[in-house]
A and B are shown apart, each in its own frame.
Chain A
Amino acid sequence: MRKFVLPLMAGMFALSLAACGSNAEETTAAAETTTTAAETEAAAEAEETTAAETEAEEEPAADVSGTLSMVGSTSMEKLANALCESFMLKYPNVTATAEFVGSGAGIEAVTNGSADIGNASRALTEDEKAAGIAENIVAIDGIAVVVDPANTVSDLTKQQLTDIYAGTVQNWSEVGGEDAPIVVVGREAGSGTRSAFEELLELEDACAYSNELDSTGAVMARVASTPGAIGYVSLDVLDDSVKALNLDGVAPTEENIKAGDYFLSRPFVMATNGPIEEQNDVVKALFDYIASDEGQEIVKSVGLITVE
């Protein structure tokens, strides 16, 4: 009998620990989400009714058919796949495919006409624009640099941040803080946040990490609990457990990123050969879909900032 009871007790202990972890805030948040979900559902139903009513008039819009091909940036894989999937659900007669070979190759493909859309996780160059490629920014990727809340440093320049991650600066006193070692926290190889961060600082595979963690949550937890730690996370997960640094004097906010002042951000471009109006119906439908509330939700759901 005891043999049975003990593992059971262990299990219950674990459960109660887990229960302690979830705080009241989360519960309210969950409750709120449920209400919003219910509301959205109701709204969606209402929309469906209107859609059904107006369907007779707007027949062609819902009846787009054909193929759509995207080629380009590997960083945009999550966004492109999510968009293609839900776009195909909405327009069952459309086949959308996405390939991920790099931003440069994507622009190349759309220029020579082998793809409808070229994905690039950077702004287009003047040469590319001169060749008639339209820069359609669909989302912005922003990364926040975080330190533990007790850290006295609140601002880093691009050079200081680069030096810290390259391992040449190892003490906070060298960048205007207290005399404490810097614990460099980062993500694992293959992570989109890591590749974006290293690309923007031009430190591809040259970062001297002392902790390589495999999720955003782990980075947040490690930075929050380790004095002197520095880490990077995507902008949408920031909370009070860590302190987000200003970079070159600019705070990591959506407004600043949209204004282009915050350097740890990059545009996600879905480039077309000529403006969107000149494209075929499928491409036009895709951009309309991205601009719709549904499309904007998808952009947010993969951790990106929307562009109005």
Chain B
Amino acid sequence: MVGRVESILSHHGSKSTVEKTAQVIFTVCGFFAVLAVASITLYMIVSGTPAIFKVGLGEILFGDVWQPAAKDPSFGILYIILTSIVGTFLAILIGVPIGVMTSIFLAEVAPKRLANIVRPAIELLAGIPSVIYGLLGVIILNPLMYKLELMIFKGSETHQFTGGANLISAVLVLALMILPTVINISETSLRAVPAHLKSASLALGATHIQTIFKVIVPAARSGIITAIVLGIGRAIGEAMAITLVSGSSVNIPLPFNSVRFLTTAIVAEMGYASGLHRQVLFTIGLVLFAFIMIINVSLTRILKKEADNE
């Protein structure tokens, strides 16, 4: 007895050291992400604000002339901001219905064997690097778009031909890229809907399709909204794929115009930019950062409210 008690007490010192060390390591790891977010935020603000004071916030946000290397430079990014908003919105408009339908198919409709073919294909889609999407866009999408452009604007005096590098190409690539995110998360949330809801609905005489749209999808709503939020995040932050297919000229975001997004504006000109031009590129980064923050925070709010209401 005595011996046992001693054995517990005898290593008391080293044991508590192990406990404490482990706790410190976990805490440090836990704060690593916080530190990263905090330092990125700080860095973006520090490097993005000088240009705002030099050029003027209104001038940058609401100016529609982007001539950063001219003798009398102007740094208006209004069209660039509009392109990012319109492009992301259209990509969501195309990608979300397809994504949600696919997830319903996988979770409810598909025979198991078929689902086992479709699901890996979607996971594969998620694993393809974005630059590959861009390359395929250049090789396949742009020539098709150019043919369409030639047909629609045949004989037009005012339209500037872009060779198929336009907003639609970028939107289609983005819509494809957000699919895996939307599908995976929606499917998970559809599967998490309690089985008794479905059984009750079927027992009351509703058909399978009625049950899906009236019971299961509404019950999985918050998960689907999360999927949309993450899809928006992916679409607004994507640069590599769309820089290859969008043409990258600063224009009003019309379907057949060559356009430049917030992300591609930074990528395109960082190479040789210097002085104030470079600082403005950091400001564009700050604008993009603010956008993503606003979207994340406001949508999380909406989600929380809905969860509270239920």
Contacts and interface: CB of A to CB of B under 8 A. Distances in A.
Interface of A: 2-3, 6-7, 9-11, 13-14, 17, 167, 170, 181-185, 188-192, 194-195, 204-205, 208-215, 218, 221-222, 225-229
Nearest to B135: A17
Interface stretch (B17-25, B96-104, B271-279, B296-304): B271-279
A214 B163 contact: no
Interface of B: 66-71, 120, 123-124, 127-129, 132, 138-139, 142-143, 146, 150, 153, 157, 160-165, 243-244, 247-250, 258, 260, 267-269, 271-274, 277
Contact of A183 (B153, B157, B162): B162
Contacts of A218: 244
B150 A211 contact: no
Contacts of B143: 225-226
A214 B271 contact: yes
Given A6-B123, A190-B68, A221-B138, A228 B271 contact: no
A171 to B, nearest CB: 9
Given A14-B132, A190-B69, A195-B69, A183 B120 contact: no
Residue of B71, B127, B163, B268 with highest tally of chain A CB at under 10 A: B163
B272 A191 contact: yes
Given A9-B124, A195-B69, A190 B273 contact: yes
Contacts, number: 116
A79 to B, nearest CB: 14
B163 A211 contact: yes
Nearest to B116: A2
B127 A222 contact: no
Given A2-B120, A170-B161, A212 B247 contact: yes
B269 A211 contact: no
The 4 closest A-B pairs by CB, nearest first: A10-B127, A226-B163, A190-B272, A181-B161
B274 A190 contact: yes
A192 B274 CA distance: 12
Contacts of B150: 181
A170 B247 contact: no
9 contacts: A14-B129, A189-B68, A190-B271, A192-B272, A205-B70, A211-B248, A213-B268, A214-B269, A228-B163
Given A9-B124, A10-B127, A226 B269 contact: no
Contact of B258 (A2, A9, A210): A210
B268 A188 contact: yes
Contacts of A170: 157, 160-161
A212 B249 contact: yes
Contacts of A3: 123
A194 B243 CA distance: 19
Contacts of A9: 124, 127
A211 B68 contact: no
A2 B120 CA distance: 8
Residue of B68, B129, B143, B162 with highest tally of chain A CB at under 10 A: B162
Contacts of B271: 188, 190-191, 214-215
